[in-house]
A and B are shown apart, each in its own frame.
Chain A
């Protein structure tokens, strides 16, 4: 049994704005019967480009119906430009949250809105640009990248929960892992200008990098790493658990941690181990 908020239950049992606006200004259709959920959204604009009415038809589970209902309530009365900025997280928040496994329902809402706005503006939504990664659900690398960036996803399961990719045969899991990796190194590289940072900012950046790039790998082998100090371009770290007892810990440190730090923070940095 899913844990739905009262708001989700309410929007499911008493959905608002069900139907189809015959003289719509914009219409968006996403999903399919095969996927198990689908949404058709129509809206009408007034003279000031404010959404005066919105209606939906949805095939899907309770959270798909509730997300659609919530979306129509949210965008009614909104200027079109503002509606264009609504994200799936906004929809989920409006509902007081959705179970993680159901986040794809809110993504479907956002997608339908995007399609409807593009339809009004006479733009083609470039359907399926990029390469298909998940064959089972027809999800592209660009869709996965976007979800990873926007919602800060870190695991394959997260990606499946948000955009369904990887939820079928599982053959694409490696590729999804790669995409997550790419996105996370990009976002670090973007903030990379070490020279312009204060010492505190540098330490924060190093800590962040250790946390997301180094720690998980060490944790997997039962080890851990802690940032002790940063001084004059040298990063002092302490190793815990199995790596600290390991005779080759020095090697692990030089080879692994330093490469990561040099790669992702700055090539000037060196790493030193603190032993007591």
Chain B
């Protein structure tokens, strides 16, 4: 059975040319980039190039890029570094719809003496900007708002927020893990102080990320150790992965417009057909402000894990915001923050495409999904009640 992979917000396939660029760093150029010999020096050159490429993707300077081990480390580093730099400021702000990498960190900090403001969103998932601005005080150390949401694809107005927050002298961080490679992410047009990236969402391997650190931003390292990354992150570099991230960043930049057009067209076709063919289905998240590759659809009166496992029978890979898929008992905090009712939240499916998806794959999903939903609804006591009334 062929795999139909529409779970690219979870992770992506490593691009072939990315993979090929990594390979020499395992068995040939295996030196330590910090070494004094040319053998190691050549490896350092690979890192330099990678740094330039990552900087280019977001229109930053190479010195402003710190490599990390993942998006989560970039997020944690940004927040810890800032609150350490401003030890007297005990207030921090974020949104209700962040990835756990930010959400759980802020919840943790709320138990460590920090006051946290969680900015709400409306039904479509758009942030309440007035609420956000009202929270800002001289006590506020940092505001962190994601660039684009991983579950719904909703995009936040980072340019506006960054400007308003920085005007008050407050540090602004954005988690751009889902935005990079899917949107133009330009730190000159969007004046953020700190920005997180992750390799495995843009066709580089898992376990590598980067943090953009605007020149002049106060910073203290999260991993204290050697002088790597100019003393901003200790630890011998994961060279092959950094090189991969560099190559993936280059490809993401080159392919941005072509790939976003293609995925948007396929995504729109998928979404339109599923909504038309399946009654009681609806999109979660504002279609006007959304990543080109993502659609999050709720099928009422059925449960997401059951849908995913049925899809799995056809090799279709997607995600769900249902409680049962995560091991927690509550459905997605993102959908709940948007006020999506339980009837729909438990039955939400996220389809996230990449440039690798084909029209045939989309057609196959369109063909297989309606019978799956119908079958599960036949099993559901709520569906028969609804039909009866």
Contacts and interface: CB of A to CB of B under 8 A. Distances in A.
Interface of A: 2, 9, 12-13, 15, 18, 20, 29, 33-40, 57-62, 64-65, 101-102, 136-137, 160, 164, 167-168
Most buried by A among B313, B324, B342: B324
Contact of A57 (B324, B328, B343, B384): B384
B378 A18 contact: yes
B346 to A, nearest CB: 5
Interface of B: 301-306, 309-310, 313, 322-325, 327-331, 342-343, 346, 378-384
A39 to B, nearest CB: 7
Given A15-B379, A36-B346, A65-B379, A59 B330 contact: no
B343 A61 contact: no
Contact of A33 (B305, B379, B382): B382
B380 A58 contact: yes
A65 B306 contact: yes
| The 5 nearest A-B residue pairs measured at CB | A167-B329, A61-B324, A61-B305, A57-B381, A40-B381
B343 A33 contact: yes
**How would you classify the secondary structure of chain B's contact residues: helix, strand, loop or mixed?**
helix
Contact of A18 (B305, B309, B379): B379
Contact of A61 (B306, B380, B384): B306
A235 B255 CA distance: 75
B302 A59 contact: yes
A36 B329 contact: yes
20 contacts: A13-B310, A18-B379, A20-B384, A33-B346, A35-B329, A36-B331, A39-B381, A57-B379, A58-B380, A59-B379, A59-B382, A60-B324, A61-B303, A61-B305, A61-B322, A62-B305, A102-B324, A137-B329, A160-B329, A168-B329
A36 B303 contact: yes
A161 to B, nearest CB: 9
Nearest to A62: B309
A59 B380 contact: yes
**How would you classify the secondary structure of chain A's contact residues: helix, strand, loop or mixed?**
mixed
Nearest to A20: B384
A13 B313 contact: yes
B260 to A, nearest CB: 30
Contact of B306 (A34, A40, A62, A167): A62
B329 A57 contact: no
B313 A57 contact: no
A38 B343 CA distance: 12
Most buried by A among B303, B304, B313: B303
Given A2-B305, A38-B381, A59-B301, 10 more contacts: A15-B379, A33-B343, A35-B329, A36-B323, A36-B324, A58-B380, A59-B382, A62-B305, A64-B303, A164-B329
B322 A36 contact: yes
A119 to B, nearest CB: 15
Contacts of A59: 301-303, 379-383
A33 B302 CA distance: 9
A60 B328 contact: no
B313 A58 contact: no
B330 A12 contact: no
Nearest to A37: B303
A61 B362 CA distance: 25
B190 to A, nearest CB: 35
A35 B342 CA distance: 8
Contacts of B323: 36
A128 to B, nearest CB: 19
Contacts of B302: 59
B330 A38 contact: no
B381 A29 contact: yes
B101 to A, nearest CB: 20
B381 A60 contact: no
